Amino acid sequence: MSSLAADLVNTRPRPADPPEKLTGPDAVAALLEPYGLEPAPVEELREVRGRLLTAFEARDMGELAAALNPLLARGATLRLLPAGWATAAGGSAPGGEAIPGGEATPGGSSASTRWSLRAPTEELSPADRIAVTAATELAALAAERGLDRLRFCAAHDCQRVFADTSPRGDRRYCSRTCSTRMNVRRHRSG
Ligand SMILES: [Zn+2]
């Protein structure tokens, strides 16, 4: 399944693929079109991208919250609360909690209920909407399935990221392309 956050992060210059992919309005439109989101200025998207990359690099939920909460604050009523997960009792899935005064349903019966995003009352700028959408996606996945669902491709020369939404959570590569070429390489060396 595709991920807005991962697609955006993967436009960055990488050592394995140095050119900047987010070069202008055409690239922005191509990136956002599948998600039905309005284009935002390139500079603003690159700024959001930097924070999202930090989320994929986070080593614990505290770091993830530090990366995502500023993005969530641009229009969502939910925040990641690492301490909330640590003390979440009775739930099999670690979940986030609504911030005090937030509009999330209190006592939601499932983590996904707690993470449902209320439509903000005020109109968001396109960049804010993109930031909130991408951050919510990562926050919900990490809260419900674990931080390790936010991954870098196992192909060492790739450096793309992906959000593993597979049922078993055992996806290793960003794409079929990487999976295939790594399998070929293993056969040749073995
Ligand atoms: Zn890859």
Digit-coded pLDDT (tens) for 84-138: 443 233 333 334 443 443 333 333 333 433 444 455 556 899 999 999 999 999 9
Q: What is the pTM of this model?
A: 0.81
Q: Measure 160 CA to ligand 1 centroid, in angstroms.
A: 5
Q: Measure 107 CA to ligand 1 centroid, in angstroms.
A: 39
Q: Measure 159 CA to ligand 1 centroid, in angstroms.
A: 6
Q: Measure 105 CA to ligand 1 centroid, in angstroms.
A: 38
Q: Measure 188 CA to ligand 1 centroid, in angstroms.
A: 19
* Buried b or exposed e, range 1-30, using 16+ CB within 10 angstroms: eebbbbbbbbbbebeeeeeeebeeeebbee
Mean pLDDT in residue range 73-80:
82
Q: Would the pLDDT of 42 be above 50?
A: yes
Q: Which of 3-17, 18-32, 107-121 has the lowest mean pLDDT?
A: 107-121
In the chain, where the domains are located: 4-189
Q: Quick one: CATH architecture of 4-189? A: Orthogonal Bundle (1.10)
Mean pLDDT in residue range 161-167:
96
Residues at Cβ < 5 Å from ligand 1 ion:
153, 155, 158, 160, 174, 178
- Maximum mean pLDDT: which of 5-9, 90-94, 179-183: 5-9
What pLDDT, on the 0 to 100 scale, is given for residue 23? 97
The band of 190, judged by pLDDT with boundaries at 50, 70 and 90, is low
Rounded to an integer, what distance in angstroms lies between the CA atom of residue 1 and that of residue 82? 26
H or E element in which residue 136 lies? helix 126-145
> Other CB atoms closer than 10 Å to residue 137's CB: what's the count?
21
